[in-house]
């Protein structure tokens, strides 16, 4: 019997952009792949939380509209970076265009999809991968092999 190496199933998740009347304007397919996404999303999500913390401090100290605008632009860019890590550059452009560059509304609507759907799925996939690797190193199997 030959040894078989098998590819694992990639998870697809649909993300729909819905207008004010409840009509689906665009449906984006998000391919969730643990190998590619775990590191990217972790770095971008950490950068977003740090940027949010920094801009909150900057906003408190801001004395004019230009400083506030700079804070919002910095935060908006961090949100776009995170979206690119999840959706890819092309789909991120579709999302930004749909929200007409209103980054706060976009963040309020899209980030929960990432935190409640994508990140838990990636955690499950990482745990499954870890379990599969550890099963290959089962101690009793190794002992039988060495005898």
d(CA 75, CA 48): 7
- Of the pLDDT bands very low, low, confident and very high (cuts 50, 70, 90), residue 41 is confident
Which one, of 44, 51, 16, 52, lies nearest residue 119 by Cα? 44
| DSSP code for 13 | E
The pLDDT of residue 56 is above 80: no
The whole-angstrom distance between residue 86's C-alpha and the CA centroid of its chain comes to 4
Mean pLDDT, to the nearest integer, of 14-20?
90
pTM score above 0.85: no
pLDDT of residue 98: 93
CB 103 within 8 A of CB 81: no
Tokens of 100: 């007409």
Q: Which residues contact 76 (CB under 8 A, 6 or more apart)?
A: 101, 103
**What pLDDT shows up at residue 113?**
92
Q: What percent of the chain has pLDDT over 90?
A: 18
Instruction: Report whether 14 contacts 107 (CB < 8 A).
Output: no
The first and second tokens of residue 130, run together, are 């870890």
Q: What pLDDT is recorded for position 27?
A: 92
> Averaged over 140-144, what is the pLDDT?
56
Q: What is the pLDDT of residues 77-111, one digit of tens each?
A: 888 888 998 898 999 999 999 998 787 888 889 98
With residue 142 as reference, give the H or E element that holds it.
helix 139-146
Q: Tell me what the mean pLDDT of segment 125-138 comes to.
A: 76
């Amino acid at each position: 019997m030959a040894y078989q190496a098998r590819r694992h199933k990639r998870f697809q998740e649909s993300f729909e952009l819905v207008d004010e009347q409840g009509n689906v304007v665009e449906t984006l397919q998000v391919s969730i792949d643990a190998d590619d996404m775990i590191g990217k999303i972790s770095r971008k999500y950490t950068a977003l939380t740090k940027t949010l913390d920094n801009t909150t401090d900057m906003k408190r100290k801001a004395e004019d509209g230009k400083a506030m605008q700079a804070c919002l632009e910095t935060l908006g860019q961090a949100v776009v970076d995170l979206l690119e890590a999840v959706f890819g550059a092309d789909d991120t452009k579709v999302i930004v265009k749909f929200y007409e560059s209103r980054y706060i509304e976009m963040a309020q609507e899209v980030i929960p999809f990432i935190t409640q759907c994508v990140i838990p799925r990636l955690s499950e996939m990482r745990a499954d991968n870890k379990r599969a690797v550890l099963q290959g190193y089962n101690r009793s199997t190794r002992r039988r092999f060495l005898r």
